[in-house]
Structure 1
Amino acid sequence: MHRRRFLALALGVMVAGGCGDMGGPGAGWARRLTIVAPVVRGRRWDQAAHALAAILTGERMAGAVEVSGAGAQGMAALTAFAAAVGGPFAREGRVFLAGVPMLAGGETADADSVLAASTPLARLAGDWSVLAVSPNSLLRTFEDFVAALRRDPARLVVGGGAGGGSDHVLYGMIGKCLGVDVRLMEYAGYPTESEAVEALHEGRVAALLGSAGSLLPKIATGRLMPLAVSSGERIDGIDAPTLMEREVRLEYADWCGVLGPRAMSPDDRDGAVALCDRIDASPRWQAVCAANGWHRAYLSGDDFRRWLVTETRRTRAVLNELGLLSIPDTNCWGGCVRRH
């Protein structure tokens, strides 16, 4: 998996802490840390949250780490997180896992934005996407896909994750880049990637957008045929051009970012960002990313906040063109499904 920055959207992991030596209590050591991860257990970023917990304790960045499911989804989970009152971060830190569905949820639910409800700390990783079809598809190349989409965007149904999520947003961005009327495009969202793959093989969708890392084994065995990838450079093991190579000026990855409580003090915020710095530099975290095909895309502090402002605007624009801003069920993490 090539490692370089990515320019567009797409889920999230939370973490916090400070600086200091790796040997125990001090600046950069949290006595107790809670990672709030409102995602489906066992999914990609839930796995990342548990990997982070193991690294934080294993490398003595925190005394104890708990991964919490939040008991809610979307902006409801973030709102509850923001409203909770906690002590100093070094004593009892709390961080939150967020990404594209969270941004979309804030817009579709007409709720406070992610920026208003939290303190952005860092973007940790991302996951490139792949556009794939079944091996017996008549769409043999990305050019075939483009021709079919331009000819009849309402007839070409593309499947992927939950409506309003990263796959759906990427499809809207591709259509926009190609000059297609995005409101006419058909998308079918599924709770799990395996269900989306099943829909593809059963002919219920013509193509599939999904995680390049998780779909790589199916591509390697010939169960899926890739047409394009959303990375800036070609991905090892996937014989397909980038969107940029096909003159679609788009580079995109589903991202994993760390948020802190809304009312963090400057000292707590600086300590949390410093801990994120240490996580990104950890060989164990780098190994986790490599093993899962995740792209390390680190951005922290004010840089992350500025990027998040831009991403929020971009997400809102795409959701508006897709006609999703009035659809409340976009406010979910993997539990929504919009079938056609």
Structure 2
Amino acid sequence: MRVMRTGAAPVGIVLALTLAGCSALEAGGGSGGDAAIDDLSIVVPAGPGGGWDQTGRAMQTDMQEEGLVGNATVTNVDGAGGTVGLANIANATDPNTLLVMGLVMVGAVETNEAQARIEHTTPIARLTEEQEVIVVPANSPYKNVEDLVEDITENGKDVSITGGSAGGTDHILAGMLLQASGMPSEHIQNKLNYIAYSGGGESLAALLGNNVSAGISGVSEYAEQVAAGELRALAVSGEERVDALPDTPTLTEAGYDVVLTNWRGVVAPGNLEDADKEALTTAVTELAGSEAWQATLEEKGWDDAFLAGDEFDTYLEGNIAEIQVVLQDIGLIQ
């Protein structure tokens, strides 16, 4: 029985994704004609430089280059895991507006008890994803994920796991791992000692200083230190191994029925007219199939996770429900 499949879609959704991707490839590549959207506003609900900001600015550049919009602007609205920006867009009156968001926001809405919810927006598309990796210091006694889980089971909070913000992707994966180990839900929050840091540099320093037992983050955050022999990777969180860590098994291979990816996508204001939703969905679909965007994915090391329309709607609904269960188990929400 699969405990969580947050990063994986059911067979029907995968088929729809494939068909949508084919359509995008046929329609994309730069129309060169008059853009259906003259002015597009892209809201990034975080400060400059992070993953959401990079996504929004890459969309801005590539959509203009491909002639999919006449003009695109990016506005940063930072705060509370993206929920401040979410509140701004939920009732926005300009239909030609996109909010960059993703799995981190799904968790932030719950942990911040945000009044504005993702369900108050109009889902447009999932665009990218990145796998997580579980690492330990090079001199750690843990040789595999099973060793780590067994120690947590026996010694509880004497074992520490570091990662990003509480309720974020890293914290969620830690909870899912214990769920998949068979640990009863009521015990997880009493066993899991998760130490949250706001930046990857702080968690890395804690690992290299042997101040924590293990760490969880995106593959790109720790791959260099793994290659240098300063950290040891125990498992990655996707369905397949990653090129950056070819010798590192997936959690599924390690015996834990968990798949999770840190995905990013875009939503629009709520209560859009059908024509406005169609225009935005078409523009983003054509972006996903364009040469410019494919080059951006390659350059950034992002995995293509395109999913649009009703399929993304269904995926998002299931993702929110799954994350609510994990956050309850780790004691962040009631």
Classify the TM-score, shorter chain.
0.7 to 0.9
Pick from 32, 51, 62 the counterpart of residue 23 of structure 1. Answer: 32
Pick from 238, 242, 246 the counterpart of residue 235 of structure 1. Answer: 242
Output the amino acid matched with 2:188. Answer: V
Tell me, yes or no, if structure 1 residue 128 matches structure 2 residue 136.
no
Q: Contact (CA 8 Å) 1:79, 1:117: kept in 2 or not?
A: no
Structure 1: how far apart are the matches of 2:243 and 2:104?
A: 28
Structure 1: how far apart are the matches of 2:157 and 2:227?
A: 31
Q: 1:179-198 alignment to 2 at 5 Å?
A: 179-180=182-183, 181-184=187-190, 185-198=192-205
2:144 alignment partner in structure 1: 141
Output the amino acid matched with 1:261. Answer: P
Output the amino acid matched with 1:171. Answer: A
Q: Contact (CA 8 Å) 1:30, 1:62: kept in 2 or not?
A: yes
- Shift in Å at residue 283 of structure 1? 2.3
Q: Contact (CA 8 Å) 1:169, 1:315: kept in 2 or not?
A: yes
Structure 2: how far apart are the matches of 1:313 and 1:202?
A: 37
Q: Which runs of 5+ in 1 are unaligned?
A: 1-5, 11-18, 327-340
2:158 alignment partner in structure 1: 155
2:117 alignment partner in structure 1: 114
Closer, same or farther: CA 249–66 of 1 in aligned 2, 3 Å: same
- Shift in Å at residue 171 of structure 1? 0.7
Tell me, yes or no, if structure 1 residue 298 matches structure 2 residue 306.
yes
Output the amino acid matched with 2:102. Answer: G
Structure 2: how far apart are the matches of 1:231 and 1:100?
A: 14
1:331 alignment partner in structure 2: none
Q: Which runs of 5+ in 2 are unaligned?
A: 9-26
Q: Contact (CA 8 Å) 2:66, 2:292: kept in 1 or not?
A: no
Pick from 236, 248, 254 the counterpart of residue 246 of structure 1. Answer: 254
Q: 1:210-289 alignment to 2 at 5 Å?
A: 210-238=217-245, 239-289=247-297
Output the amino acid matched with 1:155. Answer: D
Q: 1:65-144 alignment to 2 at 5 Å?
A: 65-73=72-80, 74-86=82-94, 89=95, 93-112=96-115, 114-144=117-147
- Shift in Å at residue 175 of structure 1? 0.7
- Shift in Å at residue 250 of structure 1? 1.0
Q: Contact (CA 8 Å) 2:6, 2:319: kept in 1 or not?
A: yes
State the TM-score, normalizing by the size of structure 2: 0.86
Q: What is the CA RMSD across the aligned residues, in angstroms?
A: 2.0
Output the amino acid matched with 1:48. Answer: T
Output the amino acid matched with 2:93. Answer: V
State the TM-score, normalizing by the size of structure 1: 0.84
Tell me, yes or no, if structure 1 residue 60 matches structure 2 residue 67.
yes
Q: Contact (CA 8 Å) 2:37, 2:279: kept in 1 or not?
A: no
Which sits farther off after the overlay, 216-225 or 246-255?
A: 216-225
Q: Which has the higher helix share?
A: 2
